[in-house]
Amino acid sequence: MPMMNAKQYEESLRRLNLKVYMFGKRVDNVVDDPIIRPSMNAVAATYEFAHYPEYEDLMTTTSHITGKKINRFTSIHQSTEDLVKKSKMGRLLGSLTGCCFQRCVGMDAMNALSMTTYDIDQKYGTEYNKRFLKYLEYVQENDLTCDGAMTDPKGDRSKAPHQQDDLDMFMHIVEERPDGIVVAGAKCHQTGAVNSHEIILMPTISMREEDKDFAVSFALPSDAEGITYIMGRQSCDTRKLEKGMIDRGNQIYGGHEALVVFDNVFVPWDRVFMCREWDFAGQLVEQFASYHRQSYACKAGVGDVLIGATQIIAEYNGANKASHVKDKIIEMNHLNETLFCGSIACASQGHKEPSGTYLVNTLLANVCKQNVTRFPYEIARLAQDIAGGLLVTLPSEEDFRSPQVGKWIEKYYRANADVPTENRMRILRLIENITMGSAAVGYLTESMHGAGSPQAQRIMIARQVNMKAKMKVARKLSGIPEDE
């Protein structure tokens, strides 16, 4: 079928029968639920913008399997140019939605599996890669959104998976049958899970042989029997249930996370891409993580929105000509562009793996993500500094609309005489949304913990840096003998 547009994507979600819970009750209509809907809008944008001529080069590509035009989110990278375009696409979409658009994880999972399944087959003579490519063609032909699921609850961090008091703390195989496997466990922090057609599972850590039952990767329809979604809370999430729109901040888009529970779920063999090959679990984790750390170019896109909003509030406040305000906005731009540099660098320095898939430079990908754990927080701090205290003391839209007290809000919260008070309220709410509200999950907390903790990146940086080469040059230049 041709690539879907936003409306077709929405209708495809309506055909799913997801088991979703929020606030202790099952959600009957996931697509139209006012809290979930903004996150669906963000994914829909990835479909709609793929049809815009001005975005076509970044948003679409050619399938290396069928030769057909496809959405880039379903593609396997065939060159460093593809990797660079992925980074540019991430920034573009972040700058257009001001939030997480949720499809990067699935794309990164598929690219990592395209390599790991090939390498497993080379060692063990299995047919995982053949299965995966058939599955990939299905995803591309139907233009599907895939949720990449890696993060297990992990239970007691001091214990390996097989040592846990409750083995469900890590996704694991509970039964092997002639027609497939049965799995149990959960995946946490699943961004965009209920907006996805498919869910792709991967192990969350490197494994030893004792943990082989936990070395499993597979894909299932998101509404497969036995899968339950429990929506996570976000700051200010219930504002979407209120009458007005101003207090939402971002009027159109948003994000969400969920706990996804697998209660003895059956997986047919043609959907299984790793089954007890414990020695490849670490490779899959690291290759996925490298791709996903590159994906944080999206934070530069959200940063574009926040910087623009900060410039606007400075003008609305009448403070835009102050030298210290100008300097702070320069610093915000400097930090934001540095984030983007890291993503472009790891993409442009990528290389071809034996499978034919191009992988980013893993050292630079980890450096990129390490910067992402820091710089958005400083950008947000500067935005709050410039916005002023009204950012957190602003009355509600209902008070603003009130016949009794609205006139006082109109009077006392006007700054620049040429700017309506309502416009000042709107831009303050957007800054609040990105730096403290529901979008802050995707901009700040996700910047810290998404694609692994900051320490995980530091460990990878230590592994990837060629310290011996640096030391060799230092000895040579200082006249120290090589055999010291």
Residues annotated as catalytic (active site), given as ranges: 100, 104, 191, 257, 292, 296, 298, 446
20 strand-pairing partners: 229
CA dist 42 and 100 (Å) reads 7
Cβ neighbours, 10 Å, residue 23: 10
Three-state secondary-structure class, residue 201: strand
Residue 452 backbone zone (phi > 0: left; psi -120 to 50: alpha; other: beta): left
Helix spans in 231-354 (H): 281-294, 298-317, 323-348
CA dist 196 and 147 (Å) reads 6
- Give the residue among 464, 59, 83 at the shortest CA–CA distance from 291: 83
φ/ψ (deg, to 5) at 288: -60, -45
- Cα 422 from chain centre: 32
183 strand-pairing partners: 173, 265
C-alpha to C-alpha distances, 276 to 118, 120, 266, 301, nearest whole angstrom: 15, 11, 16, 39
- Locate tokens 């995966």: which residue? 132
CB-count exposure of residue 475 (10 Å: 0-12, 13-18, 19+): middle
Cβ neighbours, 10 Å, residue 192: 26
- Cα 405 from chain centre: 42
Side-chain-facing half-sphere of 472: CA atoms under 13 Å: 4
- Give the residue among 262, 31, 277 at the shortest CA–CA distance from 152: 262
Name 440's Cβ contacts closer than 8 Å, sequence gap at least 6: 235, 380, 433, 434
CA dist 298 and 92 (Å) reads 7
For β-strands 198-201 and 216-221, DSSP reports them as antiparallel
φ/ψ (deg, to 5) at 427: -75, -30
CA dist 435 and 242 (Å) reads 21
Under DSSP, the state recorded for 474 is H
